[in-house]
Amino acid sequence: MAVTAKIDVKENDILGSLRDLFKEILELEDIHAILVPQHLPMKNMVMPTLVTDPDHLTGVDPLAPAFAMNAAKIVSRLTRKPLGGKIAAVLRPCEIRAFIELVKLTQGRPDDLILIGIDCLGAFQNQDYFQYAGQNGSEPTMRFFNAFLNGKTTEMEGIHLSAACKACEYPVAASADIQIGLFGAEINAHYLVQSQTDAGTNILNQLSLTEIAEPSARRDAIRLLVERRTQYRDDMFAKTSEATDSLEKMTNYFATCVNCYNCRVACPVCYCKECVFVTDVFNHDPSQYLQWANRKGIIKMPTDTLFFHVTRLAHMSTACVGCGQCSNACPNDIPVMELFRTIAQGTQQAFDYEAGRSLEEDPPLSVFREEEFSEVVGIE
């Protein structure tokens, strides 16, 4: 039976309360480690940390508007083979959705894992986070958190959330074993924890919690946030489609691409061990460049940039979860996410598929369905 409980927040210190919760979970007999975002001591950035000693949870901050990487890749590395023990992982909704895709692509295993989702308020681009936070530890997190509670859901102190977060219609992780609920709670007094699977219920039943009914204000708060983000998303789709609806426009869109492949490396669901673009297939002979240049008198260098992105679109649009790490990693601020989400929306709708929705759904193109696209092939 699902559990909904509240956890008190003492002296307005929600981060301290979350640290205590994670410490309790780590101290359970069947939990050997917890993957959780923490402030690094050497630089004020929040990164995933794998913790086995509860005394090393002092820098925990899953609310920070920092998103340096999608930790689904880390969870994939930790779970590809049996661990010999169970771990818990505190993740954003898009990280959980990406991990579900990786499981379906045989790049991870959910067997020895407890997924802990947390209501996502969004995050800044990396450089914007440094500008916002400076070197002030967790204090910027509380500024951000309080601003969000006061209605500033897209911009704080003149700095905007990333476009990926403003367009994200999944602020709650429906596939988590345990969900930490912030929306609709009396957050200065308490927040919610909810089990969404039997494994989650088993964990929460081992903790000393006060069970309550889910407040109706939670559903209303989520609905309003999703409505705002969906409107932003649809406007983004329209603008991006217009900006890329011809070969010439697409070429202009990626004009400043330098073939660094950062977007491929940062993408949580791009998992190939060897990418064709770093093989000899695209290691052209020097004379080839001269031949191409001689045809028109000029070629843009480096070459193959548009081919690279179109190939990635063909490979990844069915699995894209819209986390925005591709844009976050681009050194020239190309709006990669906007295009990938726009194409992914159409691709996934065509297959009646939603990346990361469920482990029970087979990825498109991985199974044959005789009735699929019957209107295209002319079979009734």
Q: Does one domain contain both 247 and 220?
A: no
Q: How far apart are CA 265 and CA 268, in angstroms?
A: 8
Write down the pLDDT at residue 188: 79
Write down the pLDDT at residue 309: 94
What are the b/e assignments for 335-366, b being 16+ CB within 10 Å? bbbbbbbbbbbebbeebebebbbeeeeeebee
- Sole residue written with tokens 């898009």: 94
Last residue of a domain, one of 183, 207, 232: 232
Cis peptide before 335 (omega within 30 of 0): no
DSSP summary character for residue 277: G
Give Cβ neighbours of residue 129 (< 8 Å, ≥ 6 apart): 45, 64, 65, 66, 67, 123
Structure tokens at 187: 């957050």
Last residue of a domain, one of 210, 232, 254: 232
Residue 262: strand, helix, or coil = helix
* pTM listed for this prediction: 0.93
Q: Does one domain contain both 20 and 164?
A: yes
Give Cβ neighbours of residue 77 (< 8 Å, ≥ 6 apart): none
Write down the pLDDT at residue 26: 97
Q: Does one domain contain both 270 and 304?
A: yes
Q: How far apart are CA 180 and CA 173, in angstroms?
A: 9
Which residues are bridge partners to 6 per DSSP?
A: 192, 210
Which residues are bridge partners to 35 per DSSP?
A: 50, 89
Last residue of a domain, one of 214, 232, 250: 232
DSSP summary character for residue 349: H
Indicate the number of domains in the chain: 2
Q: From first to last of the 380 residues of the chain, give the pLDDT tens digit.
A: 688 999 999 888 999 999 999 999 999 999 999 999 999 877 778 999 999 999 999 999 999 999 999 999 999 999 999 888 899 999 999 999 999 999 999 999 999 999 999 999 999 999 999 889 887 778 889 899 888 888 888 888 889 999 999 999 999 999 999 999 999 888 778 899 999 999 999 999 999 898 889 888 999 999 999 999 999 999 999 999 999 999 999 999 999 999 999 999 999 999 888 888 888 888 899 999 999 999 999 998 998 999 999 999 999 999 999 999 999 999 999 999 999 999 999 999 999 999 999 999 989 887 766 666 666 555 55
Q: Does one domain contain both 121 and 176?
A: yes
The four Cα atoms 205, 113, 57, 140 give a dihedral, to 10 degrees, of: -100
Write down the pLDDT at residue 63: 94
Q: Does one domain contain both 190 and 267?
A: no
Structure tokens at 241: 């489609």
Q: Give the H or E element holding residue 215.
A: none
Q: Name the residue range of residue 257's domain.
A: 239-377
**Strand ranges for the chain from DSSP E:** 4-8, 31-39, 46-51, 86-91, 113-118, 155-156, 159-160, 178-181, 190-195, 210-211
Q: Find out whether 73 and 50 touch, Cβ atoms under 8 Å.
A: no
Our CA angle for 60, 104, 64, nearest 5°, is 20
Q: How far apart are CA 376 and CA 11, in angstroms?
A: 62
Q: Does one domain contain both 197 and 130?
A: yes
Q: Does one domain contain both 112 and 248?
A: no
Q: Does one domain contain both 268 and 347?
A: yes
Write down the pLDDT at residue 377: 52
